[in-house]
């Protein structure tokens, strides 16, 4: 099974909502997603897709010089397709840009692919979107009880720098507010390349084992 990232299409919203209902207790409405997709200057949304065979060349971004196997699974540029995709959505994520901060608004993967690296692949796609929009920092909120997600964010340089009390309306749980350092800094870019090399090998191995 291969996985790759594309910009979210309006035709993806119903599937995105299905995954969201399986992941969160307070899902967004379809209207909210459509509004977000129609404001690409301030917000960007992506989906992870799966394929039993390696997608056709035109379905993947054109490789750039020295781009590794993982980079070929990420969009080389953000252009929202119009026609429906033949590849099913297995995850999604999005960001808002505020001045020089890219705020991760949502990220989730379908239950059947959790633990396969999809969330990490999506996180890489969101970091790339932040860089494309000119962000210097990434930020997000995460439930204090969600240690799995926190560990992923810590691996990618996010640090807990505050708490929002009773942030989640379903159970009044607190949220940790996490931030990265400068994502444009050479040190962070080196760390990102190292992590992507590891993730690329993981996804490549899974693809070889399941196809």
Query: 2-210: CATH homologous superfamily?
Result: Gcn5-related N-acetyltransferase (GNAT) (3.40.630.30)
pLDDT at residue 61, rounded to an integer: 42
Which pLDDT value is given to residue 58? Answer: 39
| Residues 106-124, mean pLDDT to the nearest whole number | 96
**What is the rounded average pLDDT of the residues 143-168?**
96
Smallest CA-to-CA distance from 103 within 25, 46, 44, 152 is with 44
More confident residue, 109 or 73: 109
What are the sequence ranges of the domains in the chain?
2-210
> CB-side exposure of 139: number of CA atoms within 13 Å?
18
Q: What does DSSP say about strands 137-143 and 101-109: parallel, antiparallel, or unpaired?
A: parallel
pLDDT reading at 59 higher than 60: no
Active site residues: 141, 153
Q: What is the pLDDT of residue 168?
A: 92
Distances (CA, A) of 22 to 14, 112, 118: 13, 11, 16
């Amino acid at each position: 099974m291969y996985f790759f990232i594309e910009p979210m299409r309006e035709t993806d919203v119903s599937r995105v909502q299905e995954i969201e209902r399986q992941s969160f207790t307070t899902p967004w409405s379809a209207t909210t997603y459509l509004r977000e997709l129609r404001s690409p200057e301030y917000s960007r949304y992506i989906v992870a897709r799966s394929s039993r065979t390696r997608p056709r060349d035109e379905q993947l971004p054109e490789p750039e010089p020295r781009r590794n196997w993982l980079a070929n699974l990420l969009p080389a540029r953000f252009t929202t397709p119009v026609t429906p995709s033949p590849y099913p959505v297995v995850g999604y994520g999005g960001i808002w840009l505020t001045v020089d901060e890219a705020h991760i608004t949502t990220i989730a993967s379908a239950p059947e692919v959790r633990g396969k690296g999809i969330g990490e692949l999506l996180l890489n796609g969101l970091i790339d979107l932040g860089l494309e929009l000119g962000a210097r920092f990434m930020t997000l909120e995460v439930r204090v009880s969600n240690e799995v997600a926190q560990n992923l964010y810590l691996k990618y340089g996010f640090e807990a720098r505050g708490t929002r009390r009773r942030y989640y309306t379903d159970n009044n749980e607190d949220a940790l507010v996490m931030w990265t350092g400068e994502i444009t800094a050479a040190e962070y870019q080196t760390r990102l390349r190292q992590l992507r090399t590891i993730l690329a090998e993981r996804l490549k191995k899974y693809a070889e084992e399941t196809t």
